[in-house]
Structure 1
Amino acid sequence: MESSSHSSKEEIAKTEEEWSKKAWEILSKVRENSPLIQCITNLVSMDLVANTLLAVGASPAMIISSQEIPDFTPQVNALYVNVGTLSSSLLPAINSAAQIAGKFRIPWVFDPVAAGSSGFRLRACLDLLLLKPTVVRGNGSEIIALSRASCGTTKGADSLHESKDALEAAKSLAQATGAVVAVTGAVDIVTDGKQVIGAHNGVQMMQKITATGCSVTALIAAFVAVDPSHPFEATAAALSVFGIAGELGMQAAKGPGSLRVNLIDSLYGLDQASIHHHAKISLLS
């Protein structure tokens, strides 16, 4: 399951219609192949992460034990790592799973939650970057903290920066690590260090639902699992699909609680026409 962290300019410079076709193609592959996604995620997000993956047809596995990882991780199609509720007891399991993913060329996706909020957390995140994640997905503040390798003013898992504020940091981080870097916000940004894509889907109320960021990162892992040679495209497609589901779910939502339910239903029911009409992915640079 070898992955490549860079796509050619010709591959990236698609029209909006071509991007919508690509998004539908990858979502269809997820539904057909039901990739096994190991999720080492935070305690707050497990439910929504698992239900997001199930809604699109993937198979989530919340295997976090150091004793199980050597036997289990080599069998997965992708690994998703989230450090939201990081602890010294969990960190060895995370490192072990990431190392095994690298050894077996299994794509893995990293969510560096609140990376700059403490020295312990920042060091753990920087060490994980050395294990070569396929994709890094964070908010603006998290990506800036990783790029600068420094702690700073924080609101925990919430961002103090817009995604566009972190564009140069994202490019720098992608160049330094070889990973595709995604920055989520009002406009979701994806870069390989050279080219930059913007995904313009989603609704603001999704920020009022715990674990939507965690869940879209898990969705990226599922998309990369079925298209490991094109992580850039898979990441952009996943962000757009999740955002479209939020837009459709918002049509009947009365608030964050009903939107959460509608989001899962919309992911489950997405069809080609919905993606074609709603996908908004464009080349930024």
Structure 2
Amino acid sequence: MTTALLTGTPSTFFKGSPLIQCITNEITCESMANALLYVNSKPIMADDIREFPELFKQIDGVLLNLGQFSVAREEQISQASHYAKEHGKPTVIDSVGVSVSPLRRKLVIELLKNEPEVVKGNTSELRHLVGLASLGRGVDGHESDQEKEALLELGKALGQLQKKYPKTTFLATGKVDLIVVEGSLILLENGVPELDQLTGTGDVVGAIIASLLAQGETIQDSTVGAVSYFNRCGERAKEKCEEPIGLESFKYHLYNELSTLYQRNDWWTSIKGVRYES
């Protein structure tokens, strides 16, 4: 582990019980809600804008996921982002499918004006966000975007975007996860390929980030910690599976690890990564 990757004490992670407002897609709604419960958080999936004035006085953090896009959902996400800024609630934007159409990219750019703590997506999605070429389609990333040169190119472009929105950290997920935080670049290398074969794993990471932010962890620790924790759960789940690995078996062990690994006081010692200073 590179100690500079985490600035605080990871033993404090998931000790609170924050209420996390999630606007997300129906496909991963249950997985995300369960994942939050597994890490000692409370989810609420309320998307009726009529409730927002009172709701945002009660919640502790916000996750806004673009996965299920529509006119109504765009309005819900926009209003939620506005209320989150007004009430000072830490916010994670998951730019799912930003490469699908200019509509989603335009929305993410608008949401950046409300200074969310984190904007995430897979490497291909964030390449589209910053205007770099990518072979990724829909919500899927492409392996060419995971090459070292491509990651550094993306990191540089996100660094330029961060100069315009300095309060926002950017997370690009993939085989190697890339984080641009406070002008520095962090590359994380934990995880297993099976995580990419399950629906909603990226959504779950976004929810865990929101949970840590809501518990008062720093943006860097929340982002590095959430990504690394989930990837470590994947690594441990794979170790418990028999060959050939059945994905249902892997999923079973993954979510068991999610609900128990944080109770160990040494899980963070296996974080693999490097930080490049600007």
Whether TM-score is above 0.5 comes out as yes
Question: Pairwise mapping of residues 211-250 of structure 1 onto structure 2 (< 5 A)?
Answer: 211-228=200-217, 230-250=218-238
Q: How many residues align?
A: 266
After TM superposition, give the deviation of residue 20 of structure 1 in Å: 6.8
TM-score (norm 2): 0.88
Aligned to 1:191: 180
Aligned to 1:12: none
Aligned to 1:7: none
Over 3 Å counting, the alpha-carbon distance change for 1:74 and 1:169 in structure 2 is farther
- Secondary structure of the residue aligned to 1:121 is helix
The answer to whether the 8 A contact 2:99-2:137 is kept is no
Aligned to 2:91: 108
Point out the more displaced range, 62-71 or 215-224. Answer: 62-71
Corresponding letter in the other structure for 1:24: P
Q: Is 1:251 the equivalent of 2:234?
A: no
The answer to whether the 8 A contact 1:17-1:276 is kept is no
Identical-residue share of aligned pairs (%):
27
After TM superposition, give the deviation of residue 155 of structure 1 in Å: 1.5
Corresponding letter in the other structure for 1:267: L
Over 3 Å counting, the alpha-carbon distance change for 1:142 and 1:251 in structure 2 is same
Over 3 Å counting, the alpha-carbon distance change for 1:263 and 1:126 in structure 2 is same
For 1:90 and 1:120, how far apart are their aligned partners in 2? 12
After TM superposition, give the deviation of residue 277 of structure 1 in Å: 4.2
Tell me which stretches of 4 or more aligned residues in structure 1 moved more than 6 Å.
Answer: none
Deviations 1:195-217 (A, max 9, x none): 11222211111000000001101
Aligned to 1:25: 11
The answer to whether the 8 A contact 1:16-1:280 is kept is yes
Unmatched runs of 5 consecutive residues or more in structure 1: 1-14
Over 3 Å counting, the alpha-carbon distance change for 1:39 and 1:157 in structure 2 is same
What's the RMSD between the two structures over aligned residues?
Answer: 2.2
Aligned to 1:6: none
Corresponding letter in the other structure for 1:262: H
The answer to whether the 8 A contact 2:185-2:276 is kept is yes
Aligned to 1:275: 267
The answer to whether the 8 A contact 2:28-2:199 is kept is yes
For 1:101 and 1:21, how far apart are their aligned partners in 2? 26
TM-score (norm 1): 0.86
For 2:273 and 2:228, how far apart are their aligned partners in 1? 7
After TM superposition, give the deviation of residue 153 of structure 1 in Å: 5.5
After TM superposition, give the deviation of residue 193 of structure 1 in Å: 5.0
1:146 to 129, 151, 159: 129
For 1:21 and 1:274, how far apart are their aligned partners in 2? 16
For 2:246 and 2:157, how far apart are their aligned partners in 1? 34
Aligned to 1:47: 30
After TM superposition, give the deviation of residue 16 of structure 1 in Å: 2.7
Over 3 Å counting, the alpha-carbon distance change for 1:16 and 1:154 in structure 2 is closer
Point out the more displaced range, 166-175 or 237-246. Answer: 166-175
Over 3 Å counting, the alpha-carbon distance change for 1:18 and 1:147 in structure 2 is closer
For 2:103 and 2:216, how far apart are their aligned partners in 1? 34
Question: Pairwise mapping of residues 84-123 of structure 1 onto structure 2 (< 5 A)?
Answer: 84-123=67-106
The answer to whether the 8 A contact 2:56-2:87 is kept is no
For 2:192 and 2:70, how far apart are their aligned partners in 1? 32
Aligned to 1:284: 276
Corresponding letter in the other structure for 1:282: V
Over 3 Å counting, the alpha-carbon distance change for 1:197 and 1:105 in structure 2 is same
Point out the more displaced range, 121-130 or 177-186. Answer: 121-130
Q: Is 1:155 the equivalent of 2:144?
A: no
